[in-house]
Structures are given as structure tokens and as C-alpha cells.
Structure 1
């Protein structure tokens, strides 16, 4: 395992790889279907618009998967920028009350001082021991920020 910088970004390894592979498969599969499905001249019911829509669906699915692959959390001196599937948010270190990664949770959760809970999808259970190590690293960063306050 390579050494990770304390302030290096958090990213899911398996989630990013799976999303990237499935995005490529989506584009290839849907474009191939759009090109290979029988048209009206071969007793099929597909017209050009149907073929274009099939390709657009594949590309749209690939874009959603690309967004999943872009999930990350980036720490800096002031706090943590969390980019989940939908939205990006910067959370100051002093706003974070606790970091949890309970058994069965799909990803890490930040419990904020205002009682809000923010998921950190960049640290996912699917990464196994690496995810637990990253959760500890995040908790250590939060604890270190308190020491400097």
C-alpha cells in the first residue's frame, strides 16, 4: 500500500473503478445497440430517432457514472470539501463534532455541531480495510484541527 499524505484527498478506489468501467460499457453497449438493431426496412420498428435516443441514453448513463467516479473529499487547513454525487460543500474543521463509520454504513458520516449529518461518499464500505484506514485518517485530521485551535 502506498503512503498517503495526511492532507491527500479521499477517494473510493473500487467505486471509482467500477463507475469508470461501467460508463465505458454503457457507451459501447448503447451505441452498438443503436447501430445494430434492425430498422424499418428489415421488419423492425426502429427509426433514426430511436437509434439516436438509444445512443443518448447510453451517454446520459455514462455521465451519471462519471459523476459517481468524481466523488471525493479534499482536506485543507481550513476544513474539508466534500463532493458527493449531488453537490459540493466546504465544512470547516470546527463545525465537525464527530466522524462515524458504523458497521453496515455504506460510507462515513460527519456529525456537525449544529446536529446535521453529512455523508462522505468518498470513503465507502466497499473499499474494506482501506476504507476503515481512511475513516481513521479523517478522524485524526479532525482531532488534529482541535489541537491547533
Structure 2
């Protein structure tokens, strides 16, 4: 599959753009609505209003954390930023890039025998974009894992 696909120029960042836009827009809208309700309800005291505003801010913060996911590829490897974790991988650690039908996001099979979810590439709203991004990351991983072998043989 990656024989037909040339890897993109590095550095490159993969992130679910449509999902990110929806989450951030919803977060702002929810914050504004909850804060607006707090200001319009005359029977609320200052403490109650502050509680409403803080609740709206917390909801926005949670949605912003969901929107921060990404996969950044550069010459030395890949950084996977998920909801609460960030992991740096060397290219040699990535054995396989998988996005199977029905998967919620890309999975990276690693040399230590584990699999790392990469939420920065997810087919939720933009399926074709996620497939193209997964192919690009797969092509990059294959190109960079083949480079040391070519040097060893030469």
C-alpha cells in the first residue's frame, strides 16, 4: 500500500482537524451559555454565579484536552500526544501503523511488544483524511525503518 504513497516532507503534524474544531467550538459555546445563564438568573448570588462560570470553564478545559491530540513526525521520530499522555518514539521503535475498519484511531505496534493508540489520527468525522494520514505515517515509518538496514548492508 505504501509503495504507491510517497511519504510527506518532515516535520509533519497529524491531528483530527474537524473533530478539533467541533470540540473547541462546543467548548466555547457551552462556556458562554452557562456563564450567560449565571448572569441572567437574578436569584443567584455571587458565589452561585461563580460556580456556574467555573463549571463552564471546566467543561471547556475537558473538551480542549480532548482536542489537543496529535501525532508529530520529524527526522528523529514521532511524538504521540493523547488526551493525558505524551510519548516520544524513535522511528526504529515503530514496527507497524494500523488503521483497520472499525478502529477508533490509529494503533502503533511497537518493538517492545506493546501497541500505542495514536488519537491524532482518527476516522470519526473525516474518514478519508484519517486513511490518508495513516498511509502517510505508515510510509514514513517504513522509509525510516528501512534507512538503517540499507546503511548496514552497504
TM-score by length of 2: 0.85
CA RMSD, 1 decimal? 1.4
Q: Which runs of 5+ in 2 are unaligned?
A: 1-6, 149-154
Quick one: distance in 2 between partners of 1:54 and 1:33?
8
CA spacing shift, 1:5–1:143, aligned 2, 3 Å: closer
Quick one: distance in 2 between partners of 1:90 and 1:75?
10
**How far does the alpha carbon of each residue in 1:20-48 deviate from its partner, in whole angstroms, 9 at most, with x for none?**
11111121111011112241xxxxxx332
Secondary structure of the structure 2 residue equivalent to 1:124: coil
Deviation larger for 81-90 or 29-38: 29-38
Q: Which runs of 5+ in 1 are unaligned?
A: 40-45
Residue 26 of structure 1 is matched in structure 2 by 30
Secondary structure of the structure 2 residue equivalent to 1:122: coil
Bigger relative CO (Cα 8 Å, ≥ 6 apart): 2
Residue 138 of structure 1 is matched in structure 2 by 137
CA spacing shift, 1:5–1:96, aligned 2, 3 Å: closer
How far 1:120 sits from its partner (Å)? 0.7
Residue 98 of structure 1 is matched in structure 2 by 96
